[in-house]
A and B are shown apart, each in its own frame.
Chain A
Amino acid sequence: MSKKITIEPVTRVEGHGKVTIHLDDNNQVEQSRLHIVEFRGFERFVQGRPYWEAPVLVQRLCGICPVSHHLAAAKALDVIVGAGTGDGLTPTGDKMRRLMHYGQMFQSHVLHFFHLASPDLLFGIDGDPALRNVVGIAIKHKELAVQAVMMRKYGQEIIKATAGKKIHGTGAIPGGINKHLTQAEKDYLLNGDDPMNIDKMIDWSLGALEFFKGYHAQNKDLIDKFAAFPSSHVSLVRKDGAMDLYHGVLRGVDSEGNKVLNDVDYQDYLQYIDEEVKSWSYMKFPYLRSIGKKDGWYRVGPLARMNTCDFIPSPLAQKEFEIFQAYTNGKPNGMSMHMHWARLIEILHSAEMMKELLNDPDLMSGELTVTGTKGREGVGLLEAPRGTLFHHYRINNDDQIEMANLIVSTTNNNTPMNTAVNLAAKQFMNGQAEITEGMMNAVEVAIRAYDPCLSCATHALGKMPLEAIILDANGKELDRKLKNG
């Protein structure tokens, strides 16, 4: 079957995605692909730079989750400066970084659920596009919109208190952190005027979960069946199996719950994970070496974390986790739309962890950094909002970075997103020669569930630039629709 795909390199993944859909002779969807035509080059242009610059430099990959890159790079450099592989920092260094990370997780997840995903739920996948966006939420659901803005603000205030500023701070340095939490910052974040305090954030997190569960009860077909498929799942977990978003061992489970990565040390990640390159995307396709290229792909992110961990070490989130797990009788959950549910549980967990840390005296005093015997190579992993994030650096004898390898969360989810897109396309477009706006949005909803960096562009009033080309069996173009950002 002939086909013609044009890929134009762009510099930012967030704003540019393309979906191509191929039909067979009977106008049935034969193949669909999500093209992310990103080309960033960070791995190349950090080469030659002094290693301690990396956490500040590479965070510029993203404006939504820079903290994740900042901390992953710092963790890799901890290894290089001899500060251990994630557990060798001072209590102050470790806990300040964790607080920063939970603030990041909180604000990013809130942004995704309220600003990006909730319009699809509240107005329907094929709802009026003029309303189906964050402005529509502000008009029709004002309280929810205010809550979304204030929750995000709270997360960013946490980041500011730990990293120095809300976006692209400098808090994490190799071997630790560069500041303590001040009394004023602690008072503001713990007991600030309503609604800017941690108890309100926990209340609102619980409220968001209740909202989702109510919606789920009334829309089981959409939430349970839309773009659902079995897969393996990978994430970090604490050594005792608890959810740990900042540090742990690498665990993978298959669709039946069998361990395919048995709590391995992520310093050796290259032994377990490889990346495949395909001609039609600048994004690589990671897979588990033990299973192979064809079937070794896996999901990362909130859903994967629920599937890999044994429990959540905060009481309210643990209760919700038990409900979540019970829904699939303890089996791994492969429902793409349950990603939203998992994300909301993580919002609650992050809020609980922030409260615990804000009350911890270690944040306000104590040694900030630690150093040891210097090495030349280090790997830093953490669970970013969108999934497992890998940073790997090697330096030369003159302290310059000579090699960098980054596997960002969205890259891990490349095959799963393509699978979800394919399922959504089949569900909504099979037999159709004309694409309606609602069908287009269905494909976006599948992508959006994974909260890829691609969707950063969607943040602009729900208009992710998305191009869909529908071809017949002879490669003749039947229809083309473009949604501009």
Chain B
Amino acid sequence: MSKILVNINGVDYSAESGKMVLKVANENGIYIPTLCHFEGIKPQGSCRVCTCKIDGRNMTACTTPASHRMVVVTDTAELEKIRATIIELLFAEGNHFCPACERSGNCELQALAYRYKMMVPQFPYLFPAKDLDAKNPKIMIDHNRCILCKRCIRRKLEPDNPSWFVFKNRGNKTQINLDHELTADFDDELAQKAMDTCPVGAIIRKEKGFDVPIGERKYDKNPIGSDIENKGVTS
């Protein structure tokens, strides 16, 4: 793969041609927030949280391949405002009660809300009537918390099997659906994998929650993005 030069926030970085802008930035210690992105699966750019100014246009960093002499800006006030607004919209359109959610402290949406210092969404809460699918013996799907990022649908939990998750319905009725027949024999490992794929608390393992004490959860000591930002820039 040929080497190219990409300018991010005014600094030229050497990168491999074809790599996504998000990856190039991350490899160079520049954090760009994401929600629908999941390492190892094809990006789709649906959440728009990674929106950057790329060659003068607002584009999603996770789906835009880097090219030679590309100019990327990741952190203007305008971009930060866009991201914060998206986060607020997600909170307003779901039922996200962090205090009683077992993903609290491990939740990407919550961690981003903290990063953007969200206090109260500027939009009114919709309080949609959503239910909880608890039929599977190993996992529960709490539609109240789902942000429809499609990570669970796009990721194959087992290489040889299709995803067990699908979208059903349309528009504001869209929700993820689990094939209960195919997943009737889900084991603990697959259940954990499904839960780890979800950025929020929509997919949770049964009979297991709050077993990591406060202070030791993923984002308690290391706020989201700090692992990338602490790498340091290697231009």
Contact = CB atoms under 8 A, between A and B. Distances in A.
Interface string B122-153: 00000000011011000010000000000000
Given A48-B132, A399-B140, A400-B132, A178 B212 contact: yes
Contact of A50 (B134, B213, B214, B216): B134
Interface stretch (B27-35, B186-194, B202-210, B223-231): B202-210
A173 interface: yes
B213 A400 contact: no
Contacts of A178: 210-213
Contacts of B206: 50, 399
Interface size bucket, B side?
20 to 34
A53 B211 contact: no
A49 B140 CA distance: 10
B99 interface: yes
B100 A60 contact: yes
A52 B213 contact: no
Contacts of A354: none
B56 interface: no
B83 to A, nearest CB: 28
B132 A81 contact: no
Contact of A398 (B100, B135, B211): B135
B213 A179 contact: yes
Interface string A416-431: 0000000000000000
Interface stretch (A161-169, A228-236, A293-301, A469-477): A161-169
B210 A173 contact: yes
Q: Give the dominant DSSP class at B's interface.
A: loop
A169 B135 CA distance: 29
Given A56-B99, A168-B99, A399 B214 contact: no
Interface string A184-200: 00000000000000000
A178 B131 CA distance: 29
Contacts of A173: 209-211
Given A53-B102, A56-B100, A400 B134 contact: yes
Nearest to A369: B211
A164 B132 contact: no
A50 B209 contact: yes
A410 interface: no
Contacts of B209: 50, 52-53, 173
B215 interface: yes
Nearest to B214: A164
A56 B201 CA distance: 15
A171 interface: yes
B99 A52 contact: no
A379 B130 CA distance: 29
Interface string B100-122: 10100000000000000000000
B204 A50 contact: yes
Contact of A171 (B99, B135, B213): B213
B207 A52 contact: yes
B100 to A, nearest CB: 4
B100 A57 contact: yes
Contacts of A48: 131-132
B207 A165 contact: no
B95 to A, nearest CB: 11
B213 A398 contact: no
Contact of A52 (B132, B135, B210, B212): B210
Contacts of B207: 52, 81, 399
B17 to A, nearest CB: 47
Interface in A33-58: 48-50, 52-53, 55-57
A170 B103 CA distance: 12
Contacts of B140: 50, 399
Nearest to B131: A48
A60 B99 contact: yes
Contacts of A81: 207
B215 A52 contact: no
Nearest to A53: B100
A165 B99 contact: no
Closest 8 CB pairs of A and B: A164-B214, A398-B134, A179-B213, A57-B100, A52-B209, A170-B210, A178-B213, A164-B213
18 contacts: A49-B100, A50-B140, A52-B210, A55-B210, A56-B99, A60-B99, A81-B207, A164-B215, A165-B214, A171-B213, A173-B209, A178-B210, A178-B211, A369-B211, A398-B134, A398-B135, A399-B206, A399-B207
Interface of A: 48-50, 52-53, 55-57, 60, 81, 163-165, 168-171, 173, 178-179, 369, 398-400
Given A52-B102, A52-B207, A178-B211, 20 more contacts: A49-B100, A50-B132, A50-B204, A53-B209, A55-B210, A56-B102, A60-B99, A163-B214, A164-B213, A164-B214, A165-B214, A170-B210, A170-B213, A173-B209, A173-B210, A178-B212, A179-B213, A399-B206, A399-B207, A400-B132
